[in-house]
Structure 1
Amino acid sequence: MTYRLGVDVGGTFTDLLLFDQSTGTFWRHKTPSTPHDSSEGILNGVSAICEKAGITPGDIDYFLHGTTVATNAVLEGKGARVGLVTTDGYRQVMQIARSFVPGGLAGWIVWPKPQPLAALEDTVEVRGRMDAQGNTLEPLDEDQVRAALIALRDSGIEALTVSLINAYLNGAHERRIGELAAEIMPGIPISLSHEVLPEMQEYERTLTTVANAAVRPVVGKYVRNLRDRLRGAGMAGSLSLLRSDGGLMSSEKSEEHPVSLLMSGPAGGVTGAIWVGRNAGIRNILTLDVGGT
């Protein structure tokens, strides 16, 4: 028999759905969430639903998980302190952002921009540049890079983002800075923009990569803790997390690219509603997802 277990963690309750693919039988269970450590509530639910079905966690082949851990870290301002390395001349990329202000009365209103996840004092510029074709226009100044990284390390940053101009075409300079950072600040998670979002537009790519760095320590700790607890309970099946686009990613990959989980929880309800509507022959469907928080 093949068992699939879906788990969604909310602010008040953790919901579980266990499905036997060979017979179509399913079991549901709701257990109080444990905000201090969500994995604790999950394990309580896993034990209870397995007991209902008369199986053990070792019988579960697929563990599918929607989570708001990354979302809450951003909303509550509990992300890591992020250091940002940019190309010379781009230090204010997060502060300038986009200058568009909506509305015809834009000249009469004040539109406060959100506080950047990487502070200006934690942002450094480095010399070295790629052109619009991805060719080296100016070599990377490694001595300056080392000095900048040492300064960031000594300032107390908890995560590092490297986002250089045109890196989506050629990430060689970012990779080299990443290598130097791994030597200078071991243990600090490093996010490279050409790996997180290899697309043009400096602000959007930088913003996404900074967000990835901000939630990486929080999400990484949570995912590792959950995986260890599940393995300790005897579950040897795959552990996958729901992405913001409704797809799945491995728990290991989610530790490296947690920004893909920012809308993980809400995406589950929408994706499920689309599936139900499609199979029921409904072309237009409206779904509402209400949580306890």
Structure 2
Amino acid sequence: MSATLGLAIDIGGTFTDVVVYDPAQGRYTAHKELTTPDDPARGVVAGVRHLFEREGLAYADVGRVVHATTLFTNALIERRGARTGLITTEGFRDTLEIGHERKYELYDLHLPLPRPLVRRALRAEAIERLAPDGTVEIALDPRSVRKAAERLVAQGVCSIAIVFLHAYANPAHEREAARIIAEAHPAIPLSLSSEVSPQIREFERSSTTVANAYVKPLAERYLGRLSADLAALGLAAPLFMMLSNGGLTHLDEAKRVPVQLLESGPAAGALSAAFFGERSGAPDLLAFDMGGTTAKLAMVQDGQPQVVHRFEASRERRFTTGSGLPLTISTVELIEIGAGGGSIAAFDALGLLKVGPRSAGSAPGPACYARGGAEPTVTDGNLLLGYLDAETFAGGTMRLDTGAAERAVDGLARAADLDRDAAASGIHAVVNETMAAAARVHIAEQGHDPRDFALLVTGGGGPLHGCELARRLGINRVICPPGAGVASALGLLLAPARVDRVSTVAQRIDRLDWDAFEGQFQALESEARSVIAATLGPDARVTVTRAADMRFVGQGYELITTLPPGPFDAALAPAIRAAFEAGYERIFARRPPAAIVEVINIRVSVTGAGDDGVLRPDMPAVAAGSAETGRRPARFGGQWLDTPVLDRRRLAAGSAIAGPAIIEETMSTLLVPPGAEAIVDASGNIVITLGALIAGAVETVKETA
């Protein structure tokens, strides 16, 4: 292999995936290591060392390291972040709890509300006030800032968020407060709303800045530790971090605004899905990634994952908008479902079988991992249904204990007066319907019909459950790429550097100062370009996209509209308005007959590629004798069928497979159900056509009968 190897590390809830890729030869090699939740860096180092020793690779040959992690998302969900304080404008101490003053479930009298990350005793006020246009109404009182900081530090605060009213229009007071606090307490990390989220809406801006402060000490410690540990192995290559928007950034930027990393792993999976879907002529697809802890679904249209600029973390009710912490970050739009290989099956108070959201994770893991887990999980059910090989699971890195899985599922079966086979089938059916139900809602909310898409499956569990999920959604075409089990990690190496920046304008188009308007865009672009240059070097090829949050005067919400490239002047006003009105009519099917348009926020997205360009992995399937390695009984629809087991590495392009079939790969297993037909296309993807199986898409779950 050449001296330009790429190393990707993706930490999931159950497994840490490590991939080494050689762009010159188009080859990759991978390893799955159980995640170490108590010290994630330990699992990373163990996985890297194992892979390099197994393959005889040299650390010095690595040109770059790209990393994604769920660590910061989990810290928010589990409330394991730093003890954080908030300093805000006098009179606005309770913004985090007041929120929007509305309930996400109108008639629920016992509605659980998301707990603020900063409790009230750790919120302090400073004397200052800015008007909406940024002019000073009350000058900043330095003594109030010092007093507030001293009180918070005395209470053991390890990180401080500074959120002043209308700081998006004028950051001067926040910057001065930060200077005062840094002089007195230089070891305390600071997060300023004018840097983290410089846009209107006080609740969202406060929530985002506090979340950044909450995970910032953790990010600094973890990323510092990880980079040191990798360097100790002999890896001198730069470490890049995956962002939630599907782009990369350098380590210092990641430490400065770690809230941008919350959905880094799922974003990489969506990029990987878009890449492999394009190779099979499927620019419109649903990217389904099922791992050991959760399953994710992202929509890809015209070959690009959809990126939004608002995200909710730590929802009280997983599928209910408004029940979580609102964050104004750019992220690949997706839905996360509490269903993975480690999801635990149990009966609820009504005696109904539920799977998830509780998960066995990696410690103790499913019962069949033989690491102390005793409750039945999806993986235990799949093993007993004949879908998994106990000897070759996760590339042979661990042997599954069939007896432990039987004991766990038998307990569930006795509780429902079922036999073992019916209980295992029930787990499989319920988790599939749970995922399908969530997917239906998400796709409908986007105004789409799932039948218009192909389903591309990745993750350790995606290929196992993908065909049944597709059947329930009415999707006819399922695509399984090579290396599906580590596709998210491979997606890290496909990602460009990307920086998103936003600023509030809040002006009617007919009153815009066009020179100032263009100047604001150029300032955002300059800031974004500097981050790209620090990531890829000054010679990186850069692409700039301009957009704006626009609305008709009097409306309360905006539509993000892609704008012409600029530069902007009054002559472009009709084109800008036309772009907004076209988007408005596409969503609402009509437009007001005569209304004034205003620009609330402006946005730039700057992407860049280094000298090596975009990676193009070439992983052709090569025939090497018969692909069939054996047969084993597997249960489909209540029947046990003698099912051929195929080695994917021996399937040449053009190979056709009739279901039922089990196709095994190092890191995943693809299940082709009876009645389906699969073919290996020229790119190495396996494309499954469900055909007549789609007729049962609306069938209620009967597999447990």
In 1: Cα distance, 2:18 partner to 2:108 partner: 50
In 2: Cα distance, 1:279 partner to 1:245 partner: 22
In 1: Cα distance, 2:207 partner to 2:85 partner: 12
SS at match of 1:186: coil
Q: Deviations over 1:147-197 (max 9, x none)?
A: 111111111111100001111121111111111111222311110111111
Amino acid at match of 1:112: P
Find the counterpart in structure 2 of residue 89 from structure 1. 91
SS at match of 2:289: coil
Find the counterpart in structure 1 of residue 126 from structure 2. 126
SS at match of 2:290: coil
1:289 matches 2:289: yes
Find the counterpart in structure 1 of residue 75 from structure 2. 73
Find the counterpart in structure 2 of residue 222 from structure 1. 222
Amino acid at match of 1:214: Y
Find the counterpart in structure 2 of residue 27 from structure 1. 29
Given that residues 198 and 205 in structure 1 are in contact (C-alpha distance below 8 angstroms), is that contact kept between their aligned partners in structure 2? yes
Given that residues 274 and 283 in structure 2 are in contact (C-alpha distance below 8 angstroms), is that contact kept between their aligned partners in structure 1? no
SS at match of 1:147: helix
Q: How many residues align?
A: 291
SS at match of 2:230: helix
From 99, 102, 107, the equivalent of 2:101 is 99
Deviation at 1:123, TM superposition (A): 0.8
Find the counterpart in structure 1 of residue 400 from structure 2. none
In 1: Cα distance, 2:138 partner to 2:8 partner: 50
SS at match of 1:89: coil
Q: Deviations over 1:18-76 (max 9, x none)?
A: 11111112111112222222112111222222234432222111111110110111111
In 2: Cα distance, 1:143 partner to 1:108 partner: 45
Deviation at 1:3, TM superposition (A): 0.6
Find the counterpart in structure 2 of residue 175 from structure 1. 175
In 1: Cα distance, 2:175 partner to 2:30 partner: 46
Higher relative contact order (CA 8 A, sep 6+): 1
Amino acid at match of 2:53: E
Find the counterpart in structure 2 of residue 193 from structure 1. 193
SS at match of 2:249: strand
Amino acid at match of 1:88: E
In 2: Cα distance, 1:58 partner to 1:100 partner: 56
SS at match of 2:191: strand
Moved more, 31-40 or 167-176: 31-40
SS at match of 1:216: helix
Q: Deviations over 1:206-256 (max 9, x none)?
A: 100100111111121111000001111111112111111111121222111
Given that residues 73 and 262 in structure 2 are in contact (C-alpha distance below 8 angstroms), is that contact kept between their aligned partners in structure 1? yes
Q: Deviations over 1:240-288 (max 9, x none)?
A: 1111111112122211111111112222222221222233321332232
Find the counterpart in structure 2 of residue 43 from structure 1. 45
SS at match of 1:7: strand
Moved more, 110-119 or 59-68: 110-119
1:252 matches 2:259: no
Larger radius of gyration: 2
In 2: Cα distance, 1:181 partner to 1:291 partner: 43
- Over aligned residues, Cα RMSD in angstroms? 1.6
Distance 1:122-1:159 versus aligned 2 partners, 3 A rule: same
Amino acid at match of 1:40: R
Find the counterpart in structure 1 of residue 9 from structure 2. 7
Given that residues 145 and 177 in structure 1 are in contact (C-alpha distance below 8 angstroms), is that contact kept between their aligned partners in structure 2? yes
In 1: Cα distance, 2:240 partner to 2:103 partner: 39
Find the counterpart in structure 1 of residue 160 from structure 2. 160
Find the counterpart in structure 2 of residue 273 from structure 1. 273
SS at match of 1:287: strand
Deviation at 1:11, TM superposition (A): 2.5
Find the counterpart in structure 1 of residue 352 from structure 2. none
In 2: Cα distance, 1:158 partner to 1:108 partner: 36
**5+ residue gaps in structure 2?**
293-360, 362-705
Q: TM-score, normalised by structure 1?
A: 0.94
Find the counterpart in structure 1 of residue 213 from structure 2. 213
Amino acid at match of 2:249: M
Give the number of the structure whose residues are more often helix, by fraction. 1
Q: How many percent of aligned residue pairs carry the same amino acid? A: 37
Find the counterpart in structure 2 of residue 145 from structure 1. 145
SS at match of 2:101: coil
SS at match of 2:205: helix
Amino acid at match of 1:257: V
In 2: Cα distance, 1:178 partner to 1:220 partner: 19
Q: TM-score, normalised by structure 2?
A: 0.40
**5+ residue gaps in structure 1?**
none
Given that residues 8 and 65 in structure 2 are in contact (C-alpha distance below 8 angstroms), is that contact kept between their aligned partners in structure 1? yes
Deviation at 1:107, TM superposition (A): 4.6
Q: Deviations over 1:99-134 (max 9, x none)?
A: 23245xx25544321110011111111111222222
Amino acid at match of 1:86: T
Moved more, 133-142 or 159-168: 133-142
Distance 1:279-1:172 versus aligned 2 partners, 3 A rule: farther
In 2: Cα distance, 1:162 partner to 1:61 partner: 38
Given that residues 46 and 57 in structure 1 are in contact (C-alpha distance below 8 angstroms), is that contact kept between their aligned partners in structure 2? no
Amino acid at match of 2:24: S
SS at match of 2:239: strand
In 2: Cα distance, 1:45 partner to 1:107 partner: 50
Given that residues 14 and 30 in structure 1 are in contact (C-alpha distance below 8 angstroms), is that contact kept between their aligned partners in structure 2? yes
Given that residues 47 and 57 in structure 1 are in contact (C-alpha distance below 8 angstroms), is that contact kept between their aligned partners in structure 2? no
